[in-house]
Structure 1
Amino acid sequence: MFAGVLMLLNGVLGLLEGIAAVAKDDVYARIGDYVYKFNLTTWGWIHIVLGILVAIVGYGILKGTSWGRASGVALATVSVLVQFLWLPYQPVWAFISIAIGVFVIWALCTDAP
Structure 2
Amino acid sequence: MTTHSTHTPSAERHTAKQQWAEGLMVFAAVTLMLAGLLDIFRGIMGIAEDDIFVTTRDYVFAFDLTGWGWTHLALGAVAVIVSLGLFTGATWARVLGVGIAALIVIANFLSLPYYPVWSVVMIAFSAFVIWALCVAKPNRSV
Q: TM-score, normalised by structure 2?
A: 0.77
Residues 21 and 27 in structure 1, CA contact (< 8 A), matched pair in contact too:
no
Superposed CA RMSD: 0.9
Q: Please give the residue correspondences for 1:21-60 in structure 2 after superposition, counting only pairs within 5 Å.
A: 21-60=46-85
Letter of the 1:31 counterpart: T
Give a deviation string over 1:15-73, Cα, whole Å, max 9, x none: 00000111134220011121211111000000000110111111111122221101111
Displacement, 1:109?
Answer: 0.5
User: 95, 104, 110: which one pairs with 1:79?
Assistant: 104
SS in 2 for 1:35: coil
Q: TM-score, normalised by structure 1?
A: 0.96
Unaligned runs of 5+ in 2: 1-25
Which residue is equivalent to 2:35? 10
Unaligned runs of 5+ in 1: none
Residues 57 and 68 in structure 1, CA contact (< 8 A), matched pair in contact too:
yes
Amino-acid identity (%): 45
**Which stretches of structure 1, 4 residues or longer, exceed 3 Å deviation after superposition?**
none
